[in-house]
Amino acid sequence: MKTNTKLELLLILYLSVSSSAQTCSISDDLNPIRREEFDGGRIVDITHFYREDMPYGDSPDRRLGQFLWLPTSMKNGSLYNGSVMKLPAHAGTHVDAPGHVFQEYFEAGFDIDTLDLAVLNGPALLVDVPRNKNITAEVMESLHIPRGVRRVLFRTLNTDRQLMWKKEFDTSYVGFMKDGAQWLVDNTDIKLVGIDYLSVAAFDDLIPSHLVFLEGREIILVEALKLEDVMPGLYSLHCLPLRLRGAEGSPISKPSNIALSVEAHKATLPILDILQSVPRLAPSSALPHANLTPLLQPQTLYSISAGHVLRQRAPPIAPPRRRTPRADRLTRYVPARLTQSRLMRPPILFITAGRVGGGAEAGRAVDTSSRTVSGA
């Protein structure tokens, strides 16, 4: 009972401090903050803001034009300001649904409101595509994206050329050719494809590439991303389209936008492939519902957020000369050295993989099969 009372008092104190800290007046600084700090990292908005001279392919002058009106205005005597917006579903940073290029899917109701939020939100890998090339099967193979990666954002020459800042739609943008799209579908586990211009498909293969991506109704396309302020690496992606029933596309919703949680450990890119990160406590902010699975390499630094059980199958080992008991033939685990970093909130445990079988270079062996990683 005493413990509950203390917790209630602490909660009341926290709420009172929070409310006083968030109180503002008309005299406060009116400059809006465009970047948020989050748990030792930061949140980066990777959408483009809408403007009249934004490039747009389906208009006569190849730009968006007026999309916002203010019919109700305080300047004209109204008690409030009220805007009216008329915006194409595929302008600016937006998402494509299967009905975008398949009439049967459109009529069957596969619209924006049916897209899987579990695909739209989670760990994402940002990769740099070789410049001056459309994304072909050869380019996709050269990127070496491991199995298990479900969300990939492709940064191309479009970002270098700042095409989204130009005032007209440019057909020379970089995108997926049909064979590149087919290679991705056949050889990866990617379910979200993001790119840095208005179409994920190259102009020469505009419809064929879209057909390949959207035919299976499993891949979500996110287009016109603003990727100039982030480096290649692993991020937490948050993407929330507007719930437009019957629409085959949608702008990314405000205020949530689409954001990357830039964690302080984003440079440890090998968090991919085999390692199963199984949530035991709250899902990690860095790797929520982590189907993204790393392949541990000896003497390589990995970072996994607190609250996970780490399981790693060891590389194949030559069979013993004598038959071993069944218990000894179960899954073996990679020895690891765990070091807690106090510089991050929540604390992060770094796992330095040792060699199977131990040895001086392996450090202290830890059986991760039964150890819960805790940030406490």
Same-domain pairing of 187 and 285:
no
| Mean pLDDT of the 128-141 span | 94
Q: Which residue among 197, 229, 262 closes a domain? A: 262
Q: What domain count does the chain have? A: 2
| Mean pLDDT of the 291-312 span | 36
In a domain, 64, yes or no: no
Q: Determine if the pTM surpasses 0.85.
A: no
pLDDT at 133: 87
Same-domain pairing of 124 and 197:
yes
Same-domain pairing of 278 and 348:
yes
Q: Which residue among 262, 291, 326 closes a domain? A: 262
pLDDT tens digits, 207-261: 999 999 999 999 999 999 999 988 888 888 889 898 889 999 998 854 334 566 5
Same-domain pairing of 126 and 167:
yes
Task: Give the domain CATH number at 230.
Answer: 3.50.30.50
Same-domain pairing of 219 and 116:
yes
Same-domain pairing of 293 and 183:
no
In a domain, 104, yes or no: yes
What is the residue range of 349's domain? 265-376
pLDDT tens digits, 317-350: 344 343 333 333 333 333 333 333 333 333 333 3
Same-domain pairing of 221 and 286:
no
Q: Which residue among 225, 245, 262 closes a domain? A: 262
Same-domain pairing of 305 and 372:
yes
Please, which pLDDT band fits residue 154 given cuts at 50, 70 and 90? very high
Q: What is the 3-state secondary structure (H, E, C) of the chain?
A: CHHHHHHHHHHHHHHHHHHHHHCCCCCCCCCCCCCEEECCEEEEECCCCCCCCCECCCCCCCECCCCEEEEECHHHCCCCCEEEECCCCCCCCEEECHHHCCHHHHHHCCCHHHCCHHHHEEEEEEEECCCCCCECHHHHHHHCCCCCCCEEEEECHHHHCCHHHCCCCCCCCCCECHHHHHHHHHHCCCCEEEECCCCCECHHHHHHHHHHHHCCCCCEEEECCCCCCCCCEEEEEEECECCCCCCCEEEECCCCCEEEEECCCCCCCCCCCCCEEEECCCCCCCCCCCCCCCCCCCCCEEEEECCEEEECECCCCCCCCCCCCHHHHCCCECCEEEEEECCCCCCEEEEEECCCCCCHHHCCCCCCCCCEECCC
